[in-house]
Amino acid sequence: MTEFRLIQVADLHLSAAHDYHSDNWRRVAAWIAREAPDLVVVNGDLVLEDPDADADHAFARGMLEKLAVPRRFLPGNHDIGDNVLFGKMAKRVNDERRARFLRHFGEERWAFEAAGWGFVGINSQLFGSSGQQAEAEQWAWAEDSLRRYSGKPIALFTHKPLFLDHPSDADHDDLTLRQSCVDRASRTRLLALCREHGVQLVSTGHKHQTRAFSLDGIYHIWAPSTACVNGRPDALHWGTREVGFVDYRFTPDGFTHRIVGADFLFRHENYVRKLGAAEG
């Protein structure tokens, strides 16, 4: 295979009870059906907001099963709970919530090779887990997976960005900022592995913003949400508030990416919906 076309969709926020974002997902699914990529990476926050809403997990699974292309899954904070040490949501990641995600989607991390690249997907919600066995197991698995692809370009996928401004940032006191990225200790360890084994791309979601930059030889790309944009327009944002998804093409010589969907998806404003719910 000389070219591997991978579509990254993130932050779908689907729900069996609330039809807030299904319109956008139907449009994304129709686009995928027409384009027939090699793979779709579903990069977290498949369900609306409650990691314990089994009906939402089942609904999201049903919508994704309609795609006639291979899929790989990673969980987000709304799927399995927020990070134990640096999350914001009251519901934190635990074995029960992870088991629910695994029951519906079959995996929480993965690694494979295509078009001369190594592809590694990792569960960002386990970082800073306060000693959970699952985190230790994932670190061992990540080290082994990255080592396996040393000498090839590697693309790493995970739900939360590794940092907001710079890897040296201290962990924020503000909960909203602290939960926006991986904690400093975990990202320091992960970035050291990335540099050691030749990771060229870190592709994430979570922030409902598009952002693309490079630092120390690694490209960092934030996928927008297929569902909505978050936060008031005058709030602090690191990327562009837009809806869409990422169309990647990988070859042995490198990769290209483009953001798709701004011209045919509804730019739902999540804060407007929540304001209306609060006032109602």
Task: Give the pLDDT of residue 280.
Answer: 42
pLDDT one-digit tens code per residue, 106-158: 999 999 999 999 999 999 999 999 889 999 999 999 999 999 999 999 999 99
- C-alpha 95/C-alpha 23 separation (Å) is 32
Q: Which two tokens stand for residue 10?
A: 């993130």
Task: Give the pLDDT of residue 277.
Answer: 61
pLDDT means per 10 residues in the chain (280 residues)? 95 97 98 99 98 99 98 99 96 98 99 99 97 97 98 98 97 92 98 98 98 98 98 91 98 98 95 68
Closest by Cα among 41, 72, 33 to 226: 41
* CA distances (Å), origin 46, targets 57, 113, 155, 194: 7, 25, 21, 27
pLDDT one-digit tens code per residue, 236-250: 899 999 999 999 999
Q: In the CATH hierarchy, which top-level class contains the domain 4-279? A: alpha beta
- C-alpha 4/C-alpha 144 separation (Å) is 23
Task: Give the pLDDT of residue 274.
Answer: 77
Instruction: Give residues with Cβ within 8 angstroms of 100, minimum separation 6.
Output: 51, 52, 54, 57, 80
Burial class (CB in 10 A: 0-12, 13-18, 19+), 160: buried
Task: Give the pLDDT of residue 157.
Answer: 99
Q: What is the identity of the amino acid at 189?
A: R
Q: Which two tokens stand for residue 169?
A: 């940032």
Task: Give the pLDDT of residue 275.
Answer: 78
Roughly what angle, to the nearest 10 degrees, separates helices 95-105 and 54-65?
30
